[in-house]
C-alpha cells in the first residue's frame, strides 16, 4: 500500500562519493523472445528462489513442477534493524504465507522434505532471482523485476525479465543464493506451517520462540544483528508495529557499537519475560473485543474465533426481522418517527461500514486522498428516551453475536480512547450518554486527530460511536469529521416499559449472520475501491456510504420476506455531509421560528440580508447551536442576539421565500 517518491532527494553532503562497490553482472544482449511462464520454468528439477511478494495460487502451480525447491521470502517494507522489528516482520510474513488454502500444498511438500521456506532477516535486500537446475546438468537463471506471482509472470503487468543459461551464471547466482540463505535468512519450521494452516492463526504471537530467527539462534547458538550502515527510514508493513513494540522492551538492546547479540541464553530470558507478559495481557484482552478482518485472505474473526462469511440464509432472514421489529417499534414514540427510522438506518450503515474505515483511510493517505470521506466517529444525539443506547447495543450484537457492554462517559478522554483503540479491533468503541462537560473537555484531541492509526499503519483499529443527550449541535470542524444523527423522537416511560419486551426479544434473537453476509460482499467492494483509489484518475470519488447501503439494500431485497421498508434505502456521502444533512437541525428551528415568530426576522432586499434575532428572555446559547450548523455558503455572522445571513442563499438553503408580511397576515 505504500507510495514511493518518484525521485530520491539526497542532500549534497549525503556521502554520495563514499558509496560501497556494487556487485554488477556484465551481460550481453542476444535477443528478446516471448515465453509463457510455463515455458520459462519447464524441464527443471530444482528451484532456488528469492521473492518479495507472491501469489499463493501461482506459487502452488510453480512448485508442483519441481522435485525440490527452496524459497526465501523477503520484505521490502520495514522500519529498522532492531530484533523486535525483525521478529514482528518474520511472524507477519509466515502468517501471510499460511493464510491461503493453497498453503496446504506447501505444508505437504515441506513434510515430504521437497520444499524449504525461509524468511529474510536482511531488511534491505531487493533481489528477485530464480535459479533452476535439471538432473542432466541443464541450468537457467531467471532474474529482473518479477516476483513469484501471477501478476508478474502471466503478463498482467510490465516486468523486466532476463534469463541466463550459462554454467558460469548458474554458479554465481547459486552461490549468491546460498550466501544470502546462510547469512540473512531464517528457516520456517515445517510443523509451524502445518499448525498454522490447520487454524492456529496466532501461533507465533502466542509462542514467539517459534519465530524463524529463534530457530536460527537455537542451531547457531548466536546471531549478530548489525547496525544499519545508513540512516534511511524504512516504512513498516501494516499490522507489524504493535507486535514490534510489544516485543521491544523484553529483547536484548544494541551494544555501544550498534550491534545486537542474540544468544540462546538471551532468548531464554526473553521467553520467560514474554510468558509473564502474555499472562497479564490475556487477562486484560479478555475484556477487549477484537473483530479482525484479514484483507489478504478475505476472512474475519471475533476474539480469535473464525466468523462464517457464508451464513445460513434463514439466520440472515431472522436478523433482518430483528432489525425491522426494532425500527417498527419506533411507531410507539412521539415525534418524527419516519425521519428517526431513516436516521437510525443511516447510522447503522456507517456503524457496519466502520470496520473498513481504517484501511480505507490508510489507502487514502497513501494515494493523496482526503481521509474525511471515511469517518471513524459516529454520533447520535437528541433528547433522552429516544432509543439511542438500545439501538447501539443491537448493532453491536449484530456485528459480533455477543452483548458487549457500553463504555461510560468517563472513558471519553484522550488517554482512555488511545488505550481502547490500541487494545480493541473492528467493533466500534461505544461511549454511552456522553456528558456535555466531558465532550467539551476532550473532543479536540479525540475527534480532530486525523492522523491517528495512519502513523502506525493500523488498518483494524475501532471507530468510536457516541450517544448523547447533551450535545445539541456540532461545530463545522467536527461535522466534517464525524457522521451525526439527530433523533427527534422520544417514548413515554409507561409505553417504554410495555415496549421493552419486544425490544429484548429482538436483542436476544439477533446473531451476526446478516453482518457476515454483509462483510463477505463488502470485502469485494472495498478491494475494488482500493484499486480505483490507487490507479484511477482524479475524478474518482470513493463513496463508502453508497457502496455500503447498496450492499445492505440488496441483502434486504434478497432475504426480506416482505416489502423492504422505505427507510432501507441507498445513501450517499451527501446524505451525511451535504449542507442540508449537516444543517438539518438548524433548518427545522429556523422554519419553526419563521412560522411562529416572523416578527423576529428582518428582511433587507437591497442589502440582500436576512437577520434573525432571538426572542428576549430566550436562551441565547440555543442561537449559537443554530449558527454552528449553518453552512459557509450563507456567509452567516453571529452578532449579539442575532444571526445575519445573505438573503438569496438563505431562501435557497431553507427552501423558504422570506418576504415581509402585512398586518392582515
CB under 8 Å to 143, separation ≥6 — which residues? 127, 128, 129, 130, 162, 163, 164, 173
Could you give the CA distance from residue 402 to residue 419 in angstroms, rounded to a whole number?
22
**CA nearest neighbour of 293 among 347, 359, 343:** 359
Looking at residue 526, its pLDDT comes to 95
Q: Is the dihedral of CA 42, 48, 54, 60 positive or negative?
A: positive
Please report, in angstroms and rounded to a whole number, the separation of the first and last CA atoms in the chain: 64
**What is the residue whose three cell numbers read 475524478?**
539
**CA nearest neighbour of 86 among 280, 255, 234, 196:** 234
Instruction: Indicate the burial class of 431 (C-beta count within 10 angstroms; 0-12, 13-18, 19 or more).
Output: buried
Q: Count CB atoms within 10 A of the CB of residue 24.
A: 6
Q: What are the cell numbers at 524?
A: 469485494
SS3 (DSSP) at 476: helix
Instruction: Give me the residues paired with residue 639 across strands.
Output: 642
**What is the residue whose three cell numbers read 456503524?**
351
Could you give the CA distance from residue 412 to residue 474 in angstroms, rounded to a whole number?
17
Looking at residue 283, its pLDDT comes to 53
Could you give the CA distance from residue 483 to residue 138 in angstroms, rounded to a whole number?
65
Contact (Cβ atoms closer than 8 angstroms) between residue 117 and residue 187 = yes
Specify the pTM. 0.62
Residues making up the chain, counted from first to last = 665
SS3 (DSSP) at 448: coil
Looking at residue 19, its pLDDT comes to 59
Could you give the CA distance from residue 85 to residue 107 in angstroms, rounded to a whole number?
26
Could you give the CA distance from residue 440 to residue 471 in angstroms, rounded to a whole number?
9
Contact (Cβ atoms closer than 8 angstroms) between residue 156 and residue 167 = no
Looking at residue 513, its pLDDT comes to 95
CB under 8 Å to 579, separation ≥6 — which residues? 631, 633, 653
**CA nearest neighbour of 88 among 456, 462, 415, 361:** 456
Q: What are the cell numbers at 492?
A: 413515554
Q: Is the dihedral of CA 285, 286, 289, 293 positive or negative?
A: positive
**CA nearest neighbour of 521 among 497, 544, 494, 551:** 551
Which mean pLDDT values do the consecutive 10-residue runs of the chain (665 residues) have? Answer: 35 51 81 87 92 68 89 66 78 79 80 89 73 93 79 72 92 92 87 85 83 82 61 44 75 76 81 79 67 90 92 94 85 81 93 95 90 92 79 92 88 87 91 88 84 82 89 74 83 62 76 95 94 85 95 93 86 89 85 89 93 80 85 90 93 89 48
CB under 8 Å to 392, separation ≥6 — which residues? 351, 380, 406, 430, 432, 465, 467
Looking at residue 665, its pLDDT comes to 42
Q: What are the cell numbers at 205?
A: 504471537
Q: Count CB atoms within 10 A of the CB of residue 129.
A: 19
**CA nearest neighbour of 476 among 634, 665, 663, 269:** 634
Contact (Cβ atoms closer than 8 angstroms) between residue 418 and residue 454 = no
Could you give the CA distance from residue 474 to residue 614 in angstroms, rounded to a whole number?
20
Where are the extended beta strands (E) located within 151-252? 161-164, 185-187, 222-225
Amino acid at each position: 500500500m505504500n507510495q514511493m517518491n518518484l525521485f530520491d532527494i539526497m542532500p549534497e553532503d549525503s556521502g554520495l562519493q563514499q558509496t560501497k562497490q556494487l556487485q554488477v553482472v556484465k551481460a550481453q544482449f542476444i535477443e528478446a523472445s516471448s515465453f509463457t511462464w510455463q515455458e520459462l520454468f519447464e524441464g527443471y528439477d530444482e528451484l532456488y528462489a528469492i521473492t518479495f511478494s507472491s501469489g499463493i495460487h501461482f506459487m502452488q502451480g510453480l512448485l508442483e513442477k519441481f522435485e525440490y525447491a527452496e524459497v526465501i521470502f523477503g520484505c521490502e517494507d520495514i522500519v529498522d534493524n532492531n530484533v523486535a522489528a525483525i521478529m514482528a516482520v518474520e511472524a507477519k510474513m509466515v502468517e501471510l504465507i499460511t493464510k491461503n488454502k493453497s498453503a496446504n500444498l506447501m505444508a505437504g511438500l515441506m513434510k515430504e522434505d521437497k520444499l524449504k521456506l525461509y524468511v529474510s532477516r536482511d531488511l534491505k535486500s531487493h533481489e528477485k532471482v530464480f535459479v533452476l537446475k535439471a538432473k542432466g546438468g541443464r541450468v537457467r537463471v531467471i532474474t529482473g523485476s518479477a516476483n513469484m506471482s501471477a501478476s508478474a509472470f502471466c503478463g498482467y503487468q510490465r516486468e523486466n525479465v532476463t534469463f541466463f543459461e550459462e554454467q558460469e551464471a548458474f554458479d554465481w547466482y547459486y552461490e549468491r543464493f546460498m550466501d544470502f540463505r546462510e547469512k540473512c535468512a531464517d528457516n520456517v519450521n515445517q510443523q509451524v506451517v502445518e499448525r498454522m494452516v490447520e487454524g492456529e492463526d496466532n501461533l507465533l504471537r502466542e509462542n514467539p520462540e517459534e519465530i524463524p530467527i529463534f530457530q536460527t539462534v537455537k542451531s547457531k547458538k548466536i546471531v549478530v544483528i548489525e547496525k544499519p550502515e545508513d540512516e534511511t527510514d524504512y516504512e513498516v508493513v501494516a499490522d507489524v508495529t504493535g507486535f514490534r513494540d510489544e516485543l521491544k522492551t523484553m529483547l536484548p538492546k544494541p551494544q555501544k557499537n550498534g550491534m545486537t547479540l542474540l544468544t540462546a541464553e538471551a532468548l531464554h530470558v526473553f521467553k520467560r519475560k514474554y510468558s509473564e507478559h502474555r499472562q497479564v495481557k490475556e487477562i486484560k484482552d479478555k475484556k477487549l473485543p477484537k473483530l479482525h478482518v484479514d484483507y489478504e485472505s478475505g476472512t474475519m474473526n471475533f476474539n480469535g474465533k473464525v466468523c462464517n462469511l457464508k451464513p445460513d440464509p434463514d439466520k440472515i432472514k431472522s436478523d433482518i426481522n430483528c432489525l425491522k421489529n426494532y425500527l417498527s417499534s419506533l411507531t410507539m414514540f412521539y415525534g418524527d418517527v419516519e425521519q428517526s427510522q431513516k436516521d437510525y438506518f443511516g447510522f447503522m450503515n456507517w456503524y457496519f461500514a466502520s470496520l473498513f474505515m481504517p484501511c480505507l483511510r490508510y489507502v487514502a493517505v497513501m494515494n493523496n486522498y482526503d481521509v474525511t470521506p471515511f469517518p471513524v466517529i459516529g454520533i447520535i444525539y437528541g433528547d433522552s428516551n429516544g432509543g439511542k443506547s438500545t439501538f447501539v447495543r443491537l448493532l453491536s450484537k449484530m456485528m459480533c453475536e455477543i452483548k458487549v457492554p457500553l463504555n461510560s462517559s468517563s472513558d471519553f478522554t484522550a488517554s482512555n480512547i488511545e488505550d481502547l483503540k490500541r487494545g480493541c479491533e473492528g467493533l466500534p468503541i461505544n461511549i454511552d450518554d456522553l456528558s456535555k462537560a466531558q465532550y467539551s473537555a476532550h473532543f479536540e484531541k479525540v475527534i480532530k486527530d486525523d492522523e491517528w492509526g495512519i502513523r502506525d499503519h493500523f488498518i483494524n483499529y475501532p471507530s468510536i460511536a457516541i450517544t448523547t443527550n447533551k450535545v445539541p449541535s456540532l461545530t463545522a470542524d467536527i461535522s466534517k469529521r464525524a457522521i451525526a444523527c439527530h433523533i427527534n423522537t422520544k417514548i413515554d416511560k409507561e409505553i417504554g416499559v410495555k415496549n421493552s419486551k419486544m425490544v429484548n426479544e429482538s436483542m436476544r434473537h439477533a446473531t451476526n449472520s446478516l453482518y457476515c453476509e454483509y462483510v463477505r460482499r463488502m470485502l469485494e467492494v472495498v478491494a475494488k475501491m482500493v484499486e480505483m483509489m490507487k490507479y484511477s484518475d482524479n475524478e474518482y470519488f470513493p463513496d463508502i456510504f453508497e457502496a455500503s447501503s447498496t450492499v445492505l439494500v440488496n441483502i434486504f431485497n434478497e432475504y426480506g420476506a416482505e416489502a423492504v421498508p422505505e427507510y432501507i434505502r441507498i445513501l450517499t456521502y451527501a446524505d451525511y455531509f451535504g449542507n442540508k444533512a449537516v444543517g438539518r437541525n438548524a433548518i427545522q428551528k429556523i422554519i419553526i421560528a419563521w412560522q411562529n415568530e416572523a416578527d423576529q426576522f428582518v428582511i433587507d432586499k437591497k442589502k440582500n440580508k436576512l437577520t434573525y434575532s432571538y426572542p428576549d428572555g430566550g436562551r441565547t446559547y440555543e442561537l449559537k447551536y443554530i449558527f454552528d450548523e449553518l453552512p459557509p455558503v450563507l456567509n452567516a455572522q453571529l452578532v449579539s442576539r442575532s444571526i445575519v445571513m445573505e438573503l438569496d442563499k438563505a431562501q435557497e438553503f431553507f427552501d423558504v421565500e422570506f418576504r415581509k408580511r402585512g398586518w392582515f397576515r
